[in-house]
Amino acid sequence: MKLIPVVLIFLTLPEVLVERAFFVMGTIIEFKLYCENKESCDKAILDVYSEVKRLDGIFSNYKNDSVLSRVNSYAGKGRISVPDEFIELTRLAIFFSGLTGGAFDITVGRAMEIWSASRETNSMPNTKDMVRAKDCMGFGKIKIYPEEKQIELNSSCVSLDFGGIGKGYALDRAVGILRKHGIKRGIVNFGGNIYAMKPPPGEDGWNVGIRHPRDETQVLTLLRVEDTAVSTSGDYERYFEVNGRRFSHIINPRDGFPVEAVPSVTVIAKDGTGADALSTALTVMRNDRAIQFLDQLKDVGAMIVTEENGRLSIYKNPFFSGLEATETVN
Ligand code: AMP
Ligand code: MG
């Protein structure tokens, strides 16, 4: 009998809020976590840090010694052995290519290089380069040998780029590690890819503000979410500007040209990988294809902001609207 009050005291121990941020994968990862004590939070965050650093060493396209760089420089030369994560994320990427009718495609690497060079010289790419880039794209050019843990890119100009899915994937890994450490309540923001775990004690969700793509001081809408991922693809932080024209950093794999006039797309999904891939894909699909596509999906919310003559139009599907906070923010 004497034990009961002791147990009750233990169960109602207050949790401490720990906020941390660090720079990794070329962006900032921010944590707001509730833990038994500061030390347990710090230990978990340190574990996340080493895991994300490790993933960066695999998927980075800036590091010459990353697995990705090795795979890309081996394009057209046959099979190459890769770690499990590389097989897993490539399979997921191909799954999202199929799901989105090719709007999501990690073979945009070559086109990304062409448009980066174009930005440097401030001149549109020449037609010859664009025709060649188109020939280097298409997820059908990737062959996976899961048993042998090998991958093959079937032409020497094929170049993979995990920029549209890698952060969401790393975010899911991060949340998995936090959960293993017994952390249930918290929110992680990884460069526009957010995962909201259980809400703070006494609250019914986390507030996630979606910024206005043309005015960073304004919030377009506020979501109230838990146990869900929210990912935004925008043309305001990374973009190609050529001859005064602003292009998104997202390429339409159909023609190799960057998307124009889609300032931002926000996706709410069960996991970070899906939310990340779909926010990139919906930017390519634009409203004409995206709305019909979304109608077929369950449990995916989306807000698509398009721009015409300087005016923004906003589309939200019902799942997205259902998760907006009732209080409106301007
Ligand atoms: P995000 O900000 O998640 O939308 O990712 C944009 C990044 O994804 C770009 O910087 C490229 O690295 C990559 N990317 C560009 N276009 C595509 C595409 N159509 N499919 C998949 N990844 C893409
Ligand atoms: Mg993405």
The pLDDT tens digits of the residues spanning 99-136 come to 999 999 999 999 999 998 888 888 888 888 888 888 89
Tell me the two tokens of residue 155.
């032409």
Please state, in angstroms and rounded to a whole number, the distance separating the CA atoms of residues 260 and 189: 26
253 Cβ inside 6 Å of ligand 1:
yes
102 Cβ inside 6 Å of ligand 1:
no
Whole-number pLDDT of residue 38: 95
Testing ligand 1's pocket by substitution, the residue of 160, 251, 289 carrying the most ligand atoms inside 8 A of its CB is: 251
Whole-number pLDDT of residue 327: 62
Q: Which atom of ligand 1 is nearest to the CA of 105?
A: 20
Whole-number pLDDT of residue 11: 55
Whole-number pLDDT of residue 70: 98
Whole-number pLDDT of residue 35: 95
Burial of 298 (0-12, 13-18, 19+ CB in 10 A): exposed
Please state, in angstroms and rounded to a whole number, the distance separating the CA atoms of residues 272 and 249: 20
Q: CB within 8 A of 125, min separation 6: which ones?
A: 114, 115, 117, 118, 133
Q: Which atom of ligand 1 is nearest to the CA of 231?
A: 3
- Inter-residue contact 34 to 183 (CB < 8 Å): yes
Q: Which atom of ligand 1 is nearest to the CA of 279?
A: 4
Whole-number pLDDT of residue 326: 78
Which residues of the chain are under the pLDDT cut of 50? 1, 7-9, 328-330
Atom 23, ligand 1: which residue's CA is nearest?
A: 164
163 Cβ inside 6 Å of ligand 1:
yes
- Inter-residue contact 190 to 29 (CB < 8 Å): yes
Whole-number pLDDT of residue 197: 98
- CA 252–ligand 1 middle distance (angstroms): 9
- CA 164–ligand 2 middle distance (angstroms): 4
Fill in the DSSP letter of residue 108. Answer: G
What's at 238, amino acid-wise? R
Q: Where are the beta strands (DSSP E) in the chain?
A: 16-24, 27-35, 79-81, 142-145, 150-153, 186-190, 193-196, 206-212, 215-225, 228-234, 239-242, 245-248, 251-252, 257-258, 264-269, 301-308, 311-316
Task: Determine the topology of domain 66-153 in CATH.
Answer: T-fold (1.10.3980)
Whole-number pLDDT of residue 330: 41
In 10 A of CB 249, how many CB atoms?
A: 22
**The pTM is what?**
0.94
